[in-house]
Amino acid sequence: QQQVKQSPQSLIVQKGGIPIINCAYENTAFDYFPWYQQFPGKGPALLIAIRPDVSEKKEGRFTISFNKSAKQFSLHIMDSQPGDSATYFCAASKGDRDDKIIFGKGTRLHILP
Amino acid sequence: DADVTQTPRNRITKTGKRIMLECSQTKGHDRMYWYRQDPGLGLRLIYYSFDVKDINKGEISDGYSVSRQAQAKFSLSLESAIPNQTALYFCATSDLQAAAGESDTQYFGPGTRLTVL
């Protein structure tokens, strides 16, 4: 119940395409769903996050879509660029101050020039 | 993130050796974490600390120990390193004082690449 399942494990997309990374969770107590971006040789960094009271959130070319009934959320990257090539992690937490965050296993994204 | 530093950045050691990885932060955050990253396995939590007097085991604590020497310092020790502890290790912090949900935002250090021969 504490798991966050992420797919695909790796993804190759042509420049300008729209890569989509999916995550699913079981624990309905989760109420905060961030995405982290990690470039080679760096630590992960927060990219965008969503709360379950909205179905979509956009920040620049990055969009999170959230489906509460299906317990799924996804990251879409519009007009993808080679510089978006990175590993992406979804995550979930209950948002209460005594809990920790649960990460998906990550997706290695490569955008072809 | 320059506010979270890890030393060393790279380390090669031999089986059976004791090794310590250190983490320091200038963000003033209460909470600190140690993760390991392995290809295909993502980020797995080793230990976490919500304040100086609070230490908790994570998902994969066997073979590891930690010390929270101060609010700003959290070290990870491998008492007797073994080859399957070869991995990328990350320290992270989070801000208990942030808004609910955002208090879980993790700020990661640059990582330590550990190789156990």
pLDDT tens digits, one per residue of B57-73: 998 999 999 999 999 99
Contact flag B92-A43 (C-beta cutoff 8 Å): yes
Length of chain A: 113
Output the six-digit token pair for A101: 């965050």
pLDDT at A2 over 80: no
Contact flag B108-A99 (C-beta cutoff 8 Å): no
The confidence score (pLDDT) of residue B73 equals 97
- For residue B73, give the H/E element and its range: strand B73-78
Contact flag B101-A49 (C-beta cutoff 8 Å): yes
**From A13-27, B15-29, B100-114, the region with the lowest mean pLDDT:** B100-114
The confidence score (pLDDT) of residue B87 equals 97
Q: pLDDT digit string (tens) for B40-49?
A: 888 999 999 9
The confidence score (pLDDT) of residue A101 equals 86
Nearest chain B Cα to A50, which residue?
B101
Question: If pLDDT is split at 50, 70 and 90, which confidence band does B95 have?
Answer: confident
The confidence score (pLDDT) of residue B4 equals 96
Q: Answer for the pair B105, A91: CB distance below 8 angstroms, yes or no.
A: no
The confidence score (pLDDT) of residue A95 equals 67
The confidence score (pLDDT) of residue B98 equals 73
The confidence score (pLDDT) of residue B109 equals 96
Nearest chain A Cα to B91, which residue?
A43
Q: Who's near B21: CB < 8 A, 6+ residues apart?
A: B6, B7, B8, B11, B34, B75, B76, B77, B89, B91, B112, B114
Mean of pLDDT over chain B: 92
Contact flag A43-B33 (C-beta cutoff 8 Å): no
The confidence score (pLDDT) of residue A96 equals 67
3-class secondary-structure state, position B43: strand
Question: If pLDDT is split at 50, 70 and 90, which confidence band does B39 have?
Answer: confident
pLDDT at B105 over 90: no
Sheet holding B19-25, edge to edge: B4-7, B19-25, B73-78, B65-70
Contact flag B101-A98 (C-beta cutoff 8 Å): no
Provide, as residue numbers in chain A, all residues whose Cβ is less than 8 Å from the Cβ of B103.
Answer: 95, 97
Contact flag B108-A44 (C-beta cutoff 8 Å): yes
Residues of B with CB under 8 A from a CB of A: 1, 4, 33, 40-43, 45, 48, 50, 58, 90, 92, 94, 96, 100-106, 108-111
The confidence score (pLDDT) of residue B41 equals 85
Q: pLDDT digit string (tens) for A4-45?
A: 999 999 999 999 999 999 999 999 889 889 999 999 999 999
Q: pLDDT digit string (tens) for A59-105?
A: 999 999 999 999 999 999 999 999 999 999 999 988 666 667 899 99
The confidence score (pLDDT) of residue B100 equals 63
Contact flag A32-B104 (C-beta cutoff 8 Å): yes
Of B58, B105, B111, which is closest to A43 when you measure between CB atoms?
A: B111
Residue predicted with more confidence, A94 or B99: A94
The confidence score (pLDDT) of residue A100 equals 79
Nearest chain A Cα to B6, which residue?
A43
Nearest chain A Cα to B103, which residue?
A97
